[in-house]
Every structure is written in structure tokens, then in C-alpha cells.
Structure 1
């Protein structure tokens, strides 16, 4: 049995785990330790058993523990991992100067760490010091039907204020380009204050885009930037400030090839 530690209230951890388990073709029983409300959505968690992030690892007795994104948990709470469990870490870009202050003195060691994107050098140095093996890994998503929407799509799981800011960004772009595309918000919920004329669709996953999708607007989260990379000519990114995730650096990296062409 594989346990996946994904403490956090958002959708990103769960989407990344779906891709990781598919990429490695994991066919063992999967228990996901998460308090995210999105874990209750069968489109996200089908085939998993979901337990609270505070579940007792010793009682679960998994063969392997997968620790997503934060090497010692969201707030540095992950310390003593019972012996006999293989520990794998999935590493993405963090604001390392902020996160390293949360590291406990007995931070976990890892049998293997997968680097899912380039990290801050000090972050990578820490992981190499606490990992027996470090390798890069390119994630692949489970196959799904393309998103069959015409016009521009805005993809975000919230909060509402950010969703509306992304919509305003898309409308401003359209006005500057002299365009009037149909706008569709792809989001788990319809936010209060959704402007008239903007359609709402609760679709998961929201990628790949179908042939009718002319533009994709997202924040700078790991999954959005990675998943829409093959359609970079259609993808526009508006990063948001995060306590621990560095969306600005990720967005800058994603834009760099487009500027070089």
C-alpha cells in the first residue's frame, strides 16, 4: 500500500498525485492523507482511499510514503516517519527562504526525491543532503477527453477574488486586442460576482484544450503551467502571491521561450 501525504486545502496536491501515480503506473492500493475538500470529488480521487492528513502512519503501515511538495509537511509538522517505510518526495518550486524557516531539526530523510521542475539552488541542495537518490521526473496526465469549449477559457479553482481577477485580466487582453471571444470560466464553483456573458463550467480535468479553445488564462500554479505547456502560444499566465509557492518565478520561466522566438 502507498500512502500519499498531501496536507493543504487546494486542488494542486491532488492533481499532482494523480499525475505522479499515472506516470509511475502505480497499481497498489493508494491512501491519500489530505484535508482538502476536493478529495471528496470522485473525478479527483477515484480509486483512492482518503484519510485525514493527521492519520497515524504507524497504524496505516504503508509500504511507501509519498510526500508532496513540502519536504517536512506544510508547516514543518512531518518529522518522525516510522521505520520500514520507503519515503519518496515530490519536489516542486518553493519560496525556499520562507519554507526553510519551518524545517524542524529532525526533518525527514528520503529514499528518493523526484525533481518535478527546477528548484531554488538552496532548496535542491537541502534535498540532495537528505535523499539517498535524486532524479528528475516529467509527469504525464491520465488520458482524458479534450475540453470541448469555443473561445477563451479561464481556469482556476479559487479563491473567488483571484478567479474574478483572472477574468478581468482576460477581458482586458481581449479589449486590447480588439477581440470579443466567448469567455468560459472552468472552476469547481461559480463565484459570486461572475460578470454577465461569462459562462461557467465545472470540468475536471481542464486539459487538454480542444480545437475550439483559442486562449487559456490561468494563474502560475505548478499544474496549470505544466499541463498547458504544449499550448504555450495560447496560454497566458497571471501569477498570484503565495506564502510558499513561487508563482512569479515559474511564470517568468514559462514565458521565456515565447519571448525568445
Structure 2
């Protein structure tokens, strides 16, 4: 099969849209496709995204741009890239509706990554009508409002690393700067809104103070931080999934990637259901994972550490299926589907 040019639209705050796009882009590159990603995530500036995509390019739009500026930039990008396929993550009409007037005119294959969205948003903007512009809807491992659509297909969750690519326990703990072989690692993943990142900094400091020598707390923040108080150890690894075998307890939010990575690797998760305009994190989390306050987080982490008798992860490699691989094959199949329509 001839390699194609894919343009991945991954606009939206946080890391979710961008990380899914990289997961798909890596899998597509392995199949000989050339991938370009467009994102407006504030986290994108500090990530080595090009290294993940090989010869692919990453177009970082300013998060402050309004929908008119985004549309203009995207139209220029379409003309320059000349893609065979457009893959849009989550928002069929674009994050701010900027794709709506463009979709009917695009004579290329179009694929929607269809995730859970708040029903009020789906109804208010008539998303059922907009998805008709897409040759395929791919549902990446969790329920979605239009998953019943005749062109919708579900896959397992998409992950930015294959199981065999994860660092082993010893190597991961070295990357996490943990030398004590008996100290379990509690990793606090700081992503989301700026004020939420600051809250995680404070949480990491509180956990380290309260847990003392019972655990090594590590703050994993892919963005620049103004200050990090003692005794917090701050690291900037990305993707965090690569280190997951060295983490005994993961603390974060109920976003798509955090939850799916924890479950795929069997990592105990303590998470806050953050309010989002479109995403419903509370539905993604199990009741046993969800906390609402720092005090609840501390109690839950302490209980998990006690249940593990203070030992770190065993040398058992996780085995999971990465849905991004299947998604690439489904997108390739739209060649024949598009030809018949």
C-alpha cells in the first residue's frame, strides 16, 4: 500500500487530544504514512513531538487564537500540506466551529475520532448532522454518544507507547531518580489548566511531607513551572507512559490518557474528576479511584501503599492491545469505502 499524507487535527486544551494524535501518528508512520499534526495545546511547545513522528511536522497554533484566526491558519495549512486524509479529534465541527464551512468543500477522506461528549453540547450544536461529512467515525475505547452511527467502529484505547516499548522497572525507577530499591514511587501527574497544575505541585509537596520515607513522591509536569517547593522532586518526562512500570501509585485527573494508561499497565490510580466543558471525567473513573480533596488523596495513597506492603512493582511486563494500530488499518480501509460512496 502506497504511503499517504495524513493531517491530524488535535486542537483542544490539555494533553489529551495531542497525545492521542501522537499515538495515531506513530502507528501510521510504522505503516509508511507521512503525518502532520496541528495543535493549540499550551503544553506542545515543550514537547519533542517531531521526534515521535519521524519526518512528520507539528504545527503549533497559539492557544490564544480565536476561531477566525484558527480557520485562516488551518486553511493555509491544508493548502500547504495537501493531505490525502484529515483526521479530526473529538470535535466534528472543529473546536470553535471553524471546520463547519470547510468540511463540505474538502475532497479528501475525513475521519472523526469520536469520544464521549456532554449530551447538551451534542444536541446544542447538532453534531449528528456534522458527522455525516466523515467517511468513518472511530471510537477509541470508551462510550460515545454517536457510537451507533453506521460508519462508527470501536477500537481498544489508543496509547502512545506499545507494551514492549515501556522501560523495565529498574530503568524506569532510574529515570524517576529513585535509588532506594525498597521505596515505592508515588507519581503526581500535573496537567490541565494552569491553576490545576499549581494544585498538583502543592499536592505533591503535601504527599511527600506526610508520607516521609514510606514513598518517593515525584511530580511529573511536562510544562515549565514557576517554582517547586522542597521537598518535591520535579521531572519533565513525556510520555509518562514510558515510565509507568516504575510507578506504584499514580495521582492525577480523570482525563482519557491518564486513565487508559493506568488501566493498561495495571497501575493503581488516585484521581480527581476535573470539570470540563466537553469531557465528563467523573464517568470515566471508578468510584474506587476517585477523590475530591487532598486529604482523601493522602488517605487513598496511604491505603494503597499499605496494601502493597511497601514494595515496588514486580518485574511483570504488562500486556495490552494498542487501539491506535487498529485505527490506522480502519483509516486505510476508507480508501475503498470512499470509492464506493
Aligned length: 250
Q: Deviations over 1:205-245 (max 9, x none)?
A: 11143554221111111111111113445222212101111
SS at structure 1 position matched to 2:12: coil
SS at structure 2 position matched to 1:62: coil
Give the superposition deviation at 1:63: 0.5
Please say which of residues 85-94 and 20-29 is displaced more in the overlay: 20-29
Question: Are the aligned partners of 1:93 and 1:117 in contact in 2 as well (CA < 8 Å)?
Answer: no
Give the superposition deviation at 1:123: 3.7
Specify which of 42, 48, 58 is matched with residue 50 of structure 1.
58
Q: Which residue is 1:135 aligned to?
A: 153
Give the superposition deviation at 1:182: 2.0
Give the superposition deviation at 1:15: 0.8
Q: Which residue is 2:138 aligned to?
A: 114
Q: Which residue is 2:110 aligned to?
A: 87
- More helix per residue: 1 or 2? 2
Q: TM-score, normalized by length of structure 2?
A: 0.63
Matched, 1:222 2:256: yes
- Match runs of 1:3-18 below 5 Å: 3-18=7-22
Q: Deviations over 1:168-187 (max 9, x none)?
A: 55677788889742211111
- Match runs of 1:62-73 below 5 Å: 62-73=83-94
Q: Which residue is 1:207 aligned to?
A: 241
Give the superposition deviation at 1:5: 1.1
Residues 1:134 and 1:254: Cα distance change in structure 2 (over 3 Å): farther
Q: Deviations over 1:32-63 (max 9, x none)?
A: 12223444445223332233453216524310
Residues 1:251 and 1:167: Cα distance change in structure 2 (over 3 Å): farther
Specify which of 77, 80, 96 is matched with residue 75 of structure 1.
96
Matched, 1:2 2:6: yes
Question: Are the aligned partners of 1:225 and 1:254 in contact in 2 as well (CA < 8 Å)?
Answer: no
Please say which of residues 20-29 and 165-174 is displaced more in the overlay: 165-174
Partners of 1:35 and 1:254 lie apart in 2 by 33
Q: Unpaired segments of 5 or more residues in structure 1?
A: 257-261
Q: Which residue is 1:259 aligned to?
A: none
SS at structure 1 position matched to 2:74: coil
CA-atom RMSD in angstroms: 3.1
Residues 1:210 and 1:61: Cα distance change in structure 2 (over 3 Å): closer
Question: Are the aligned partners of 1:2 and 1:63 in contact in 2 as well (CA < 8 Å)?
Answer: yes
SS at structure 1 position matched to 2:14: coil
Q: TM-score, normalized by length of structure 1?
A: 0.80
SS at structure 1 position matched to 2:285: helix
